[in-house]
A and B are shown apart, each in its own frame.
Chain A
Amino acid sequence: MSNGYQKSVSKGVDWLTVWLYASLVGIGILCIFMVEYNPATFSAESFFQGKTNYSKQILFSGICLVAATFITLSDSKLYPAFANLLYVFGIVLMLSVFAIGKDINGSKSWIPLGGGFNLQPAELCKIFAALALSKYLSQLNMDFTKLQSQVIAVAIAMLPAMLSVLQHETGLALAYLSFFIVMYREGLPGIILIIGFSFGALVVATLLMEKNTLAVILTLVAGFLVFMFRRQIFVRKRWGLLILIASVWFVCVGIQRFAVPYIFDNVFECYQSQRIYSAVGKEYDCSKNKHALEAEAITGKTAAKPDDYNVRQSKIAIGSGGFLGKGFLKGTQTRGKYVPEQHTDFIFTSLGEAFGFIGSFVFLAIYFILLFRIVQLAERQRSSFSRVYAYCVASILFFHITVNVCMTVGLFPVIGIPLPLVSYGGSSLLTFTIMIFILIRLDADRQMVLR
């Protein structure tokens, strides 16, 4: 009887995803161990005493195992049913942070749970937002081509992001942008993605190029477009097109000449501007920054110039790994603690140093297979709730991996977001575990139609 019961529980579970998940958690513990290993104090017991980060991570993964088991045993109808309620609960949690929050590393986004453990609601809220978005988009009478439903969907995704920004967790807030990938899949006009990418390209170009050169180039592009469409504009008298090109040109030049410098100098903190500049290989002059000048006026001394020390050290650590790497526990940069925050945001560096290009490639391949497997799972769902939810999981994972790895290899500004399943941290690990196992649960019941 019990045998038959177990069989029914595990029936339909996608074991490939489970194995990929397990291997990533294992790699994570290994990496944290590499970062913290010190031959002087190391003993076999230190794995279980809960004093070191890797033993804590082992403990977290144990908790995650329990959570995963519960989710696998649960009824998949639960999730669409409670989606909206959970979302409200998540928002309440995030709001409560403003009252009882604890300040860790400058971001007031943690709820102390006692015993040295803290919960970050913004992290957890990603699941609730994913569920709520799936619920909304899978409604029977849903017509996602309508502007109203698009706006509501965006609002569901962006509300937690807003709260997160208010808690000074910009990195986590950015993670909510990944929901746009889901919405695109479900019918959000492609033009929005194109505009988004174009905007990003324009900002990067602004940082890289001399502003007059860029303005000239933009003008030439506009002129070229007018020339290309001259027949439509001047012969067929479609003046609207001309106005469109002109206004786009105007907005672009405005962004490039005024908006970007203004935001960098007056909205961003000095270190933020500096990080973004350094990601494109430039130096930002903090004496132009409003916040830096204000701080200077208060403290009376020039603020210490933030430098790209962590990215530089991160690149050195990864770069010195070479093709085959230096070997397990032989990474000099890791042993010397040259990379700051190496057990959390910069965990990838320890792997890159110890196992080189080969190791990094295999590691990224695991992520890549996981992502494609989730997309594959999404496309085979009969119920749109499951499909949208699967895309949410894929998008969030993708966003985290991309931003985190790009940050460590110097392709993206430093943003404090963890590498899923690998970085040290209970909140993050638990969130991604719940997220993935809800998907596995839903996928196991893919024959059912969930509303």
Chain B
Amino acid sequence: MPVYNQSRSRIIQIIFILVFLLIILQLLNLQIFSKEYKLQAENNAVYRKVIYPDRGVVYDRHGKAILENTVMWDLLVTPSEIKGTDTAALCDILGIDTAEFRKKIITAIIKNSRYKPGMFEPLINDEVYARLNENMYKFPGFNIVERPVRAYPFHAAAHVLGYLGEVDSNFLKRHAGEGYEQGDYAGMNGLERGYEKVLMGQRGIKRFIRDNKSRIQGPFNNGNFDTAAIAGRNLHSSLDIDLQLLAEKLLQHKIGSAVAIDPKTGGVLAMATSPGYDPAMLTGSQRRKNFGRLILDTARPLLNRAIKGQYPPGSTFKPIDALVALDEGLITPSYGYPCGGAYYSCGRPVKCTEHWSGHSKDLRTAIAWSCNSYFSQVFRMIVDNKKYANTRMGYLQWKKYMNAFGLGVDLDIDLPGEDDGNIPDTSGYNRDFGGPRWNSCNIVTLGIGQDRMLVTPLQMANAMCIIANKGYYYTPHFVDSIEHETIADTQFLGKYREKREALTHISDSSYNAVQLGMHDVATFGTAARVKIEGIDICAKTGTAQNPHGKNHSLFVAFAPRENPKIAICVVVENAGYGATWAAPIASLMMEKYLKDSISSARLPEVERISEANLIPDAIKNWYRKQDSLKLVRQLQLQKINADSAPAIQNNLETIKPVTFDPEAEPNRKDNDDKDSVRIKLKPAMQNPEDKKNRKPN
């Protein structure tokens, strides 16, 4: 018996050894050979948190911050800890009812679980924050966290600065590998978008240990793997915020745009567009609501008309025409054309506002009095130049000049979404006239800035820079310098620092002749009222016919004539003569910029213009309908239980079709295409005869 007991002891020991070996093998497998468990542990327990740096600040030319950061507050809730919260007090402060309170809690639970803080009320303003903060002890489970948002100290230049928006999947696809994640905000427009990479800074990442209910337990590895957030860099812009504010004030209650450029640098001094909006509307908790309202507004307040509004330049184009003719040697400054009130050489007459003889006795007076006949003739001379084989070749030469002046091409300003305008190509005319049979008479109104020619206010302001500088310009831009400029920044900004001698081959004497004419415009010609004490202004008015209704009022100018400091273009849609509205706006802006303030004598003028309401009736009607609809809706809400409710419902239905009534709204395009820019209207196909039937000034 002891013998086999001894062997059984051995067997038991062997069983022990085998089982322990089995365990060791499994441990080897789990801990050394298989890598998946490490990864799973990481996914389980390490929480990566992206730390958003402050975005860069944008300064104006005098170093005033025009776009900066401020702090708003988010109210977060941890649903598992809210026992004992004074719900009534909280609802009272936030202005919600208990039903909504419950809804928000449930949403927070669904999104973030019971144990993790989730959003209860985002972007709380100062006042509510103050009240909440006093009473926080009553609200266990709630806490307030800071959240940086954009702030606009001057509430101005909305279109220039742009806005931030939540990135969508398209954006993420386009910017893959740049560190954006779902839910991030990025610049969607304006400088915010153009300089997104500079402004956004570099995100930091913090790693935390979290527990099985996703609660943060502390830093992972003492924060050794964390990367710090680097704040976005600041931009120094050429914008003059006071000038910008004045421009926006003058343009209010109007549709139009004003652009002012420093001709010596190409820096944009002001770029206003109207109707506009307060940029602060697109930050904070009301962002979504406001954005919806702005995007549906028929007057298109989100559209930056300075770079996207396309207008026929009208008479403001004439100085450019003159320069081309002078450079081609077709006219001399003393060239005259006998005009008696219309241009008769092309069948149907092109009418001229001036009838007295001598208003076009030479170039200088022709510009001063904006003679249509004179410039129709000059344009035909350019196009029919004997130097070139035929009209089309002559036309192409003219077009080359236009492009050199920056018309019909995009200038590559540092704002996204700039439009080209339109200098038509011969192919378009070939098609419409059934082959190359057209002649200079068919397109004669191009000479007075009509026909199919379209320009943006920015392009016209830039053209003024070229005339002011006698041939060269700098690409218009907003950003003069970037803080801690890198090599890449310098390369990017290089194109804005390069002198573009596009038209220096035109002689100084030609420029002088044109400048003299433009000087006369502002002293005794069509815009004599724009005079500013002690400053030589060169200007040109324009009254552009357009297919949308009343003429557009245009005005371009630069000043002073010697050593120009500001070049400007103002457009007021459907406001009539250039001299009536656009000219005084430009004049006030120039005075403000050149003299730092507006003389007290002209202050009433500022008020008069800013209060003038020149919005076309159609748009006014639209607003009125919107208001009344809102009223009806409110009424209906109030009487929701009353018997009269169905009646109001009927009412609503009869009022509802507000989309577009061509008679009431001549300003809108016939095909009500919501995506098209309303102002970007190429004239519908017209016969050449019809075109002559125009009445430019």
Contact between B1 and A187, CB atoms less than 8 A apart: yes
Q: Which of A26-34, A282-290, A401-409 contacts its partner?
A: A401-409
Does B32 lie at the interface of the complex (its beta carbon under 8 Å from any beta carbon of A)? yes
Determine chain B's interface SS by DSSP, over half rule: helix
Distance of A184 from chain B, by nearest CB (Å) = 6
A163 sits at the interface (CB 8 A): no
Q: Give the residue of B19, B31, B36, B210 whose beta carbon is less than 8 angstroms from that of A360.
A: B31
From 268 to 311 in chain A, residues with beta carbon under 8 angstroms from any chain B beta carbon are none
Total CB contacts across the A-B interface at under 8 A: 119
With known contacts A315-B37, A316-B41, A318-B30, A184–B8 Cβ distance under 8 A: yes
Return chain A residues, CB-CB under 8 Å to B45: 332-333, 335-336, 338
Q: Which of A107-115, A125-133, A320-328 contacts B (4 or more CB under 8 A)?
A: A320-328
Q: Does B169 contact A (CB under 8 A)?
A: no
Q: Is B389 an interface residue (CB 8 A)?
A: no
CB distance from B35 to the nearest CB of A (A): 9
B23, B30, B38, B41: which contacts A406 (Cβ < 8 A)? Answer: B23
Of A39, A361, A410, the residue contacting B218 (CB under 8 A) is: A39
Are B22 and A411 interface neighbours, CB within 8 A?
yes
A357: chain B residues at CB < 8 Å are 27-28, 31-32
* Contact in complex: A368, B20 (CB < 8 Å): yes
Contact B27 A316 (CB under 8 A): no
Q: Is B9's CB within 8 Å of the partner chain A?
A: yes
B26 and A322 within 8 A (CB): no
A336 and B212 contact, CB distance less than 8 A: yes
**Contacts A323-B32, A371-B16, A375-B9; is A332 near B27 (CB within 8 Å)?**
no
Q: Mark A385-405, 1 if CB is under 8 A from B, else 0.
A: 000000100100010001001
The reply to whether the CB of A337 lies closer than 8 angstroms to some CB of chain B is yes
- Which residues from 351 to 388 on chain A have a C-beta closer than 8 Å to any C-beta of chain B? 352, 356-357, 360-361, 364, 368, 371-372, 375, 378-379
Is A335's CB under 8 angstroms from B211's CB?
yes
- Residues in A with CB closer than 8 Å to B26 are 406, 409-411
Residue contact A316 to B5, C-beta cutoff 8 Å: no
Asked if A181 meets B212 with Cβ closer than 8 Å, knowing A332-B46, A409-B23, the reply is no
By beta carbon, the residue of chain B nearest A395 is B12
B659: Cβ under 8 A from any A Cβ? no
* A319 at the binding interface (Cβ < 8 Å): yes
Contacts of A321 in B (CB 8 A): 31
> A185 on the interface (CB 8 Å rule)?
yes
Count, chain B residues at interface, CB 8 A: 37
Distance, CA A315 to CA B44, complexed state (A): 13
Tell whether A122 is near chain B: CB-to-CB under 8 Å.
no
Write the chain A residue with the least CB distance to B46: A332
Is B277 in contact with chain A by the CB < 8 A criterion?
Answer: no
- Is B290 part of the contact surface with A, judged by Cβ < 8 Å? no
Whether B30 pairs with A315 at a CB distance below 8 angstroms is yes
A352 pairs with B27, CB closer than 8 A: yes
- B199-241 residues at the A interface, CB under 8 angstroms: 209-212, 217-218, 220-221
Is residue A317 within 8 Å, beta carbon to beta carbon, of the partner chain? yes
Whether, in the assembled complex, B638 has its beta carbon less than 8 Å from a beta carbon of chain A, the answer is no
Docked pose: A221 CA to B509 CA in angstroms: 115
Please measure, in the bound complex, the distance between the C-alpha atom of A86 and the C-alpha atom of B20, giving whole angstroms. Answer: 33
Would you give the shortest CB distance from A403 to chain B, in whole angstroms? 10
Are the CB atoms of A337 and B16 closer together than 8 Å? Answer: no
Contact with A along B246-269 (1 / 0, CB 8 A): 000000000000000000000000
> How many Å from the CB of B11 to the closest CB on chain A?
8
Residue of B whose beta carbon sits closest to that of A184: B8
Q: How far is the CA of A368 from the CA of B27 in the complex (A)?
A: 16
Q: Does B13 touch A at the CB level, under 8 Å? A: yes
Residue from the list A190, A313, A335, A364 in contact with B20, Cβ < 8 A: A364
Contact B41 A185 (CB under 8 A): no
Interface string of B42-65 (1 = CB under 8 A from A): 101110000000000000000000
* B211 partner, pick from A190, A317, A337, A406, beta carbons under 8 A: A337
B34 is an interface residue with CB less than 8 A from chain A: yes
Contact A398 B9 (CB under 8 A): no
Assess whether B600 is interfacial by the CB under 8 Å rule. Answer: no
**What's the minimum C-beta distance from B27 to chain A, rounded to whole angstroms?**
5
Q: Does the CB pair B8–A409 fall under 8 Å?
A: no
Q: Is the pair A364, B23 in contact by a Cβ cutoff of 8 Å?
A: yes
A39-B218, A184-B8 are contacts. A368–B30 as well, Cβ < 8 Å?
A: no
Let me know if B664 is at the binding interface, CB within 8 A.
no
- Contact A361/B5 with A316-B41, A336-B45, A338-B45 known, Cβ cut-off 8 Å: no
Distance in angstroms between the alpha carbons of A317 and B218 in the assembled complex:
18
- Does B40 count as interface, using CB distance less than 8 angstroms? yes
Contact B9–A185 (Cβ < 8 Å): yes
Per-residue CB contact flags for chain A residues 166-192 toward chain B (1 = under 8 Å, else 0) read: 000000000000000100111100100
Q: Which of B20, B41, B220 is within 8 Å of A320, CB to CB?
A: B41
Asked whether, in the complex, the Cβ of B37 is within 8 Å of the Cβ of A319, the reply is: yes
Instruction: List residues of chain A with CB within 8 A of the CB of B36.
Output: 319
A316 touches B44 (CB 8 A): yes
Distance of A403 Cα from B23 Cα, bound (Å)? 10
A8 to chain B, nearest CB (A): 31
> A379 CB to closest chain B CB, in angstroms?
6
A336 touches B211 (CB 8 A): yes
CB contact between B41 and one of A323, A333, A371 (< 8 Å): that residue: A333
Q: Smallest Cβ distance from B431 to chain A, in angstroms? A: 71
Which A residues touch B88, using CB under 8 A?
Answer: none
Are the C-beta atoms of B44 and A338 separated by less than 8 Å?
A: yes
List, in ascending order, chain A residues with CB within 8 A of B612's CB. none
Query: Is B24's CB within 8 Å of the partner chain A?
Result: yes
From known contacts A333-B45, A352-B31, A357-B32, infer whether A364 and B37 are also in contact, taking CB-CB under 8 Å: no
- Using an 8 Å CB-CB cutoff, how does the interface string of A233-264 with B read, 1 for contact, 0 for none? 00000000000000000000000000000000
Contact B20 A375 (CB under 8 A): no
Quick one: CB contact mask for B289-310 with A, threshold 8 Å, 1 for yes? 0000000000000000000000
Q: Which residue of B lies closest to A40 (CB)?
A: B218
Q: Bound state CA distance, A334 and B211, in angstroms?
A: 9
B9 touches A360 (CB 8 A): no
Q: Please, how many angstroms separate the alpha-carbon atoms of A181 and B221 in the complex?
A: 47
Q: What does the 1/0 interface line of A406-420 toward B look like (CB < 8 Å)?
A: 100111000000000
Residues of A within 8 A of B23 (CB): 364, 402, 405-406, 409, 411
Nearest opposing residue in chain A for B31, CB measure: A357
Residues of B near A40 (CB, < 8 A) are: 218
Residues of A within 8 A of B22 (CB): 406, 411
Chain B residues lying within 8 Å of A402, measured Cβ to Cβ, are: 19, 23
Nearest CB on B from A316, distance (A):
5
CA distance A316 to B36 in the complex (A): 8
Contact A409 B30 (CB under 8 A): yes
CA distance A181 to B9 in the complex (A): 10
CB distance from A146 to the nearest CB of B (A): 14
Query: Could you jot down 17 A-B contacts, CB within 8 Å?
Result: A181-B12, A185-B5, A316-B41, A318-B30, A319-B38, A322-B31, A332-B44, A332-B45, A332-B220, A335-B217, A335-B218, A360-B27, A372-B16, A375-B9, A378-B9, A398-B16, A409-B27
20 additional A-B residue pairs with CB within 8 Å, beyond A318-B27, A323-B32, A372-B16:
A185-B9, A187-B1, A315-B37, A318-B30, A318-B37, A319-B36, A320-B37, A320-B41, A320-B42, A335-B211, A336-B44, A336-B211, A357-B27, A357-B31, A357-B32, A361-B24, A372-B13, A375-B12, A406-B23, A409-B26
